[in-house]
A and B are shown apart, each in its own frame.
Chain A
Amino acid sequence: MSHSLSATQNGEIQGLGKSQHERMRHDHLITSKQLSRADIETVLDRAAEIDADPSAVADRHANSVLGLLFFEPSTRTKMSFETAMKRLGGSVIDMGSIESSSVKKGETLADTVRVTEGYADALVLRHPKQGSATMASEFVDVPLLNAGDGAGHHPTQTLLDLYTIRENAGLDDLTIGIMGDLKYGRTVHSLSYALTNFDTRQHFISPESLQLPRDVVYDLHQQGERTQIREHDSLEEILPSLDVLYVTRIQRERFPDENEYQKIAGEYQIDLETLEDARDELTVMHPLPRVDEIAPEIDDTDHAAYFEQAHNGIPVRMALLDLLLENHTRGDTDE
């Protein structure tokens, strides 16, 4: 395993690779691109330990406070972070809705994070602007976790996705199909980047108008020598080869015409009949909420892993908070 140190231009990464304590050595979690294979394995291993015995960490961060800064509505991600922190013994403070905060008075994000870092030991940020988490991290010393920056990244979702894939199918020698809205779906982009750390064959299935953005394809090719990437307009031809099928929602508002939406979305929905040609071991995932992409009749089959996936957000976010808070507490003595 590599011990090499490296740094990005904005300094968001302090060091990569496993240290002797096998700790993740980032200050912040901004994008899945910053994560090496060793980093990912450190988080997932810690999550597995916590999953197996949550009581062992129940008081671990009893004096720590997590600050939640959600500039966009979110229920699941926010609740999941809140639960994760509480199960580590810590407490949570919440900026509340934008309408009732200083943001309404025109405060910049840079000022908001500089003020709130004085109240909390770590911050979680969701913001509609791309690059907001990168910028915010440049203004604070406490660990900052990106919980979604517009159409940008959502790395904690990625880590819980990876955890679910590892538990169900393993991360190496993996054939995964990622289907639906690949153009606007940030979970898809983040997951694809992260998977380039592993030996994977990634198949992207979408209508032409919702294909992966070319910039993302460019990055995947740059990043992943070990990754094969193929794009398809139909699931049929590759379904039998898949270990994992990751389905995302095609949003109605992406289509000007209702009939067009119905026609196209219908081609990317799955039910028991669709899965007849699938392997018995196929794992079906979805970041939720779903509308009608996955028929409820699949819920009771061994294929369905999407509720498990949602629940995995707790041990994975507990692991991340644990690692980042531990890093931060140890401070500058690390080197």
Chain B
Amino acid sequence: MSDDHDHHDGHDDHELRVSKIRSGTVIDHVRGGQALNVLAILGIDGSDGEEVSVGMNVPSDRFARKDIVKVEGRELSQDEVDVLSLIAPDATINIVRDYDVIEKHRVERPDLVEEVLSCPNTGCITTGDEPVSSRFEVLDDGVRCGYCETIVRDGIPSLIDT
């Protein structure tokens, strides 16, 4: 499969805002304003030296405004990107090699997300000093803590464990 990954929204001037990458992952059609949360969920903070480009509130045909995240040198797996469905359900993932998109997929809602979110319930056992990582069941309209069973429908980005 070959595609010019910067031009599929019909905005020829994208490369002026966010440069093309040679090899890596482009996460496109992220809801406007969520790009930094996408990076947080993926645990990418630049400290490993990855080249990361972020476009925020870029004009889009599909949404009025979208965010776009490009990570040079890292091909993200389906499992890694599925967790993005919680905050960027419409995101498309382009795996790029030598400037060509070789794989393109949508995020799918996983059944379970582990070690990504922290429980907002202060009475939950996972909020103490116990040697336990968080686990959330993914519901149609939110997430549910696997320990205290608290359901969170709004404000999921604020629970991202950074």
The answer to whether A and B belong to the same complex is yes
A residues touching B (Cβ–Cβ < 8 Å)?
A: 9-10, 106, 108-110, 127-132, 134-135, 138, 149-152, 215, 218
| Complex CA–CA separation, A9 to B146 (angstroms) | 8
Minimum CB–CB distance for B135 against chain A, Å? 7
B151: interface (CB < 8 Å): yes
Given contacts A9-B112, A9-B137, contact A130 B121 (CB under 8 A): yes
Which residues from chain B contact A131 at a C-beta distance below 8 Å? 124-126, 145-149
B4: interface (CB < 8 Å): no
Question: Which residue in A135, A215, A218 is a CB contact (below 8 Å) of B147?
Answer: A135
**Chain B residue with the shortest CB-CB distance to A111:** B131
Minimum CB–CB distance for A144 against chain B, Å? 14
CB pair A135 B149 closer than 8 Å = no
Minimum CB–CB distance for B62 against chain A, Å? 31
- Per-position binary interface string of chain B over residues 90-121, scored 1 when its CB falls under 8 Å from any chain A CB and 0 otherwise: 00000000000000000000011000000001
**Chain A residue with the shortest CB-CB distance to B112:** A9
Given contacts A109-B125, A110-B131, A151-B123, contact A134 B151 (CB under 8 A): no
Which residues from chain A contact B78 at a C-beta distance below 8 Å? none
B128: interface (CB < 8 Å): yes
Question: Which residue in B131, B135, B137, B151 is a CB contact (below 8 Å) of A108?
Answer: B131
**Chain A residue with the shortest CB-CB distance to B152:** A215
CB pair B126 A135 closer than 8 Å = yes
**Chain A residue with the shortest CB-CB distance to B126:** A131
Which residues from chain B contact A110 at a C-beta distance below 8 Å? 130-132
Which residues from chain B contact A128 at a C-beta distance below 8 Å? 123
Which residues from chain A contact B129 at a C-beta distance below 8 Å? 106, 108
Minimum CB–CB distance for A173 against chain B, Å? 30
**Chain A residue with the shortest CB-CB distance to B150:** A215
Q: How many residues of B are counted as interface, with CB atoms below 8 angstroms from the partner's CB atoms?
A: 22
Question: Which residue in B123, B135, B151 is a CB contact (below 8 Å) of A129?
Answer: B123
Which residues from chain B contact A127 at a C-beta distance below 8 Å? 125
**Chain B residue with the shortest CB-CB distance to A131:** B147
Which residues from chain B contact A130 at a C-beta distance below 8 Å? 121, 123-125, 147-150
CB pair A218 B151 closer than 8 Å = yes
Minimum CB–CB distance for B114 against chain A, Å? 10
CB pair B131 A215 closer than 8 Å = no
Q: Could you jot down 21 A-B contacts, CB within 8 Å?
A: A9-B135, A10-B135, A106-B129, A108-B130, A109-B125, A109-B128, A109-B130, A110-B130, A128-B123, A129-B123, A129-B127, A129-B148, A130-B123, A130-B124, A131-B148, A134-B146, A135-B130, A135-B132, A150-B123, A151-B123, A152-B148
Which residues from chain A contact B123 at a C-beta distance below 8 Å? 128-130, 150-151
Which residues from chain A contact B148 at a C-beta distance below 8 Å? 129-131, 150, 152
A-contacting residues, B130-162, CB 8 Å: 130-132, 135, 137, 145-151
CB pair B149 A215 closer than 8 Å = yes
Which residues from chain B contact A149 at a C-beta distance below 8 Å? 125
Minimum CB–CB distance for A132 against chain B, Å? 4
Which residues from chain B contact A150 at a C-beta distance below 8 Å? 123, 148
Minimum CB–CB distance for A187 against chain B, Å? 16
**Chain A residue with the shortest CB-CB distance to B132:** A135
| Complex CA–CA separation, A151 to B121 (angstroms) | 11
Which residues from chain A contact B135 at a C-beta distance below 8 Å? 9-10
Minimum CB–CB distance for A237 against chain B, Å? 30
**Chain A residue with the shortest CB-CB distance to B111:** A9
| Complex CA–CA separation, A131 to B123 (angstroms) | 9
Minimum CB–CB distance for B45 against chain A, Å? 29
| Complex CA–CA separation, A10 to B136 (angstroms) | 11
Minimum CB–CB distance for A311 against chain B, Å? 31
| Complex CA–CA separation, A218 to B140 (angstroms) | 12
| Complex CA–CA separation, A109 to B132 (angstroms) | 11
Which residues from chain A contact B126 at a C-beta distance below 8 Å? 131, 135
Minimum CB–CB distance for B112 against chain A, Å? 6
**Chain B residue with the shortest CB-CB distance to A130:** B148
Which residues from chain A contact B149 at a C-beta distance below 8 Å? 130-131, 152, 215
Minimum CB–CB distance for A195 against chain B, Å? 18
Which residues from chain B contact A132 at a C-beta distance below 8 Å? 125, 147
| Complex CA–CA separation, A221 to B1 (angstroms) | 46
| Complex CA–CA separation, A106 to B130 (angstroms) | 11
Which residues from chain B contact A109 at a C-beta distance below 8 Å? 125, 128, 130
Minimum CB–CB distance for B111 against chain A, Å? 8
CB pair A129 B112 closer than 8 Å = no
Which residues from chain A contact B130 at a C-beta distance below 8 Å? 108-110, 135
